[in-house]
Structure 1
Amino acid sequence: MRYTLRQLEIFLATAHHQNVTKAAEELSMSQSAASGALKDLETQFDVQLFDRVGKRLQTNEFGNRVRIRAEALLAQAKELEHELSQHDKVGHIKVGATLTIGNYLCVDLIKQYIRESPGTQVKLEVANTESIARAILNFDIDLGLVEGELHHPDLDIVNWRKDSLICFCSPSHPLAQKTHITDKDLLAAKWILREPGSGTRQTFDRAMSGLTPSLDIELELQHTEAIKRAVENGLGISCLSEIALQTAFDRKTLVPINIPSRDFTRHFYFVIHKHKYRAAGILKWMGICNIDFETIDKL
């Protein structure tokens, strides 16, 4: 074999940081040794993996293709090392989740994962759909659970569970007493919404098709609880997942606004890189989420 796993580690670390020095620091080696290993790898196969822009190294088109294969190969090698060292088969896992899922659903999933696999850890990253997709494509996290719709040739995206958004206001808001909400009412209201790029905003904009450009958007906030507090204090009305609102509805600090003319239904999605090696921890998480392994393998 004309390449080593260490060379691939250095290549991947450099691709991630776009800098040899930072890659060397991550791998606890000298900058000169890392540079030499990269040069040897390219020379051995007479290829160029990076475009050099000043001090920054950016993987070129060929380098990106190699990176995908190298990520999968190293993941398998680490899994083999894990099994040979006789550790637990199910290991640590890095999960990305969008705000609603991360705040209201992931705790139970993490609890079950740890309970069924003692000694393991779950690292949870909460961000919007676009950020989670970028992290998966960059192999920064193992998998994602997202609210927004995605389309990318390198991602496997599977329906996970259904959800629905609900518009809501404070009990003292004029719309709280109305049984029939018109488009004129929606246009007259001040709105407090999630930021563009979030799955919640994507569903809201689609449901409000035809009205969205004319809505009076007072605030755009990244955090569900901040939106709920703003609405409670009479700053406007909003629209969030029913999962995030049930407790407030039960306490009557917020009240739903019924808009039957608009469709706020959506899906949550399980997302993973097509070339991500399905290690035992990933398969375990998929099982907890009731994701069909065979369905993903056929995508």
Structure 2
Amino acid sequence: MRCSFRQLEVFLAAAHFQNITKAAESLAMSQSAASSALKELESQFDIQLFDRVGKRLQLNELGRLFRPKVEALLAQAGELEQALAKHTEVGALKVGATLTIGNYLAVGIMADYMKSETQPRVSLEVANTRTIAQRVIDFELDIGLIEGELQSPELEVIPWLADELVVFCAPGHPLANRETLTDEDLKQATWIMREPGSGTRQTTERAMHGILPDMQILLELEHTEAIKRAVEAGLGIGCLSRVCLADAFRRGSLVPLPVPSHRQLDRQFYFILHKQKYRSAGIDRWMDLCREL
């Protein structure tokens, strides 16, 4: 093999940090050693993988082409190394999840995953659908769990779990005791919404098609708990997953609102994976645990 795994590791680190000094630090190498490894990789094959602008390294077209292939190769090598060292195929995992999933479902799945004999570590990043998708595309996460629908030529989007959004309010709100709501009620109400880019906002806007421009949106917040507190305080009505409202409904601090039947608030949770990402045993184990829900 003409190139070494170390050269490939330097290539990926440089692609991530866009700076050879930071790449070297991440690999516990000297800057000169990292720079030499990258130059040797390029000279061995008479290619250039980066455009160099000052101290900044920017992947060129060829570099972008080879990055997922190198990522997959090193992932397989890392899994083999771990299996030989620890006699297990389930290793550390980098997971991204959108807020509802991350705050209400993912922690329990993490606990089950980490109960194996070698106690593999799981890092969890919680953000909105747009952010998680980009992190998976950039190979910074092994797998994403998202609430929103998306189209990307780089991602495999796999249905996982059915979910339902619920419109809700505080018990003292004027709409709380209504047997049913009309579109006019929805337009006149004051809303506390999730931020644009979130899966919850995407589903809400799809359900409110036709009246969305007339809806009165007072606040757009990034966190479900903040929305629940604002609605409990009487600032307006909200729309969130039933998963994160169950406890509040049991306590009676919030109540569901019966929206018109043509306003469909059902949705799907999804797994997202890079199409060129090597599917490790750890990823398969994680997906199996998720499906057990």
TM range (shorter): over 0.9
Gaps of 5+ in 2: none
CA-CA distance at 1:118 after TM superposition:
4.5
Residues 27-72 of structure 1, C-alpha deviation per residue, up to 9 Å, x if partnerless? 1111122112111111111211112233211111211110010000
Do the aligned partners of 2:163 and 2:241 also contact (CA within 8 Å) in 1? yes
Which residue in 2 is equivalent to 1:285? 286
Which residue matches 1:294?
Answer: none
Aligned letter for 1:71? Answer: E
Partner Cα distance (2:229, 2:175) in 1: 17
Counterpart position of 2:224: 224
SS of the aligned residue for 1:176 comes to: coil
Task: Letter of the 2:285 partner, please give it.
Answer: K
Residues 180-191 of structure 1 correspond to what in structure 2 (within 5 A)? Answer: 180-191=180-191
Superposed counterparts of 1:70-149, under 5 Å: 70-149=70-149
Deviations 1:146-197 (A, max 9, x none): 0011211121111001001000011111111222311211111111010000
CA contact (8 A) 1:90 1:117 kept: no
Q: Distance in 2 between matches of 1:121 and 1:113?
A: 9
For residues 152 and 29 of structure 1, do their structure 2 counterparts lie closer, same or farther at Cα, with a shift above 3 Å needed?
same
Q: Report what 1:242 is aligned to.
A: 242
Number of aligned residue pairs: 291
Which consecutive residues of structure 1, in runs of 5 or more, have no partner in the other structure? 292-299
How far apart, in 1, do the equivalents of 2:16 and 2:211 lie? 42
Q: Spell out the pairing of 1:190-269 with structure 2 (5 A cutoff).
A: 190-259=190-259, 260-269=261-270
d(CA) in 2 for partners of 1:103, 1:118: 25
Task: For 1:19 and 1:77, locate their aligned partners in 2 and report how far apart those are by CA, in whole Å.
Answer: 25
Q: Which residue of 1 aligns with 2:58?
A: 58
State how 1:144-159 maps to structure 2 within 5 Å.
Answer: 144-159=144-159
**Structure 1 residues 165-174 or 28-37, which shifts more?**
28-37
Amino acid at match of 2:29: M
Range with greater deviation from structure 2 (100-109 or 232-241): 100-109
For residues 121-144 of structure 1, what are the alpha-carbon distances to aligned partners after superposition, in whole Å with 9 as ceiling and x for unaligned? 211111111111111111111101
Partner amino acid for 2:266?
Answer: T
How far apart are the structure 2 equivalents of 1:213 and 1:43?
58
Whether the aligned pair in 2 keeps the contact of 1:19 and 1:57 (CA below 8 Å) is yes
Aligned to 1:5: 5
Q: TM-score by structure 1 length?
A: 0.94
* Partners of 1:120 and 1:112 in 2: CA distance: 11
Letter in 2 for 1:119: Q
CA contact (8 A) 2:161 2:291 kept: no
* 2:43 corresponds to 1:43: yes
State the alpha-carbon separation in 2 of the partners of residues 164 and 221 from structure 1.
20
Q: Which amino acid aligns with 1:290?
A: R
Worse-matched range after superposition: 16-25 or 119-128: 119-128
1:100 partner amino acid: T
Distance 2:118 2:35 in 1: 40
In structure 1, what residue type is equivalent to 2:59? T
CA contact (8 A) 2:180 2:257 kept: no
Give the Cα–Cα distance (whole angstroms) in 2 for the partners of residues 85 and 180 of structure 1: 62
Supply the distance in 1 between the matched residues of 2:237 and 2:244 (Cα, whole angstroms). Answer: 15
Q: Which residue of 1 aligns with 2:273?
A: 272
Larger deviation, residues 156-165 vs 112-121: 112-121
Contact 2:79 / 2:91 at 8 angstroms: preserved in 1? no
Q: Match for 2:28: what amino acid? A: S
Amino acid at match of 1:35: S
1:243 counterpart SS class:
helix
Q: CA RMSD in A?
A: 1.3
Cα distance in 2 for residues equivalent to 1:35 and 1:214? 57
Partner Cα distance (1:30, 1:183) in 2: 64
Paired-residue identity, %: 59
Residues 96 and 132 in structure 1, CA contact (< 8 A), matched pair in contact too: yes
Contact 1:156–1:271 at 8 Å: present in 2 too?
Answer: yes
Q: TM-score, normalised by structure 2?
A: 0.96
Residues of 1 paired with 2:45 and 2:170: CA distance?
66
Q: After the TM superposition, which parts of structure 1 deviate over 6 Å for at least 4 consecutive aligned residues?
A: none
| Paired amino acid for 2:278 | Y
- 1:89 Cα deviation from its structure 2 partner: 2.5
Deviation of residue 117 (structure 1)?
4.5
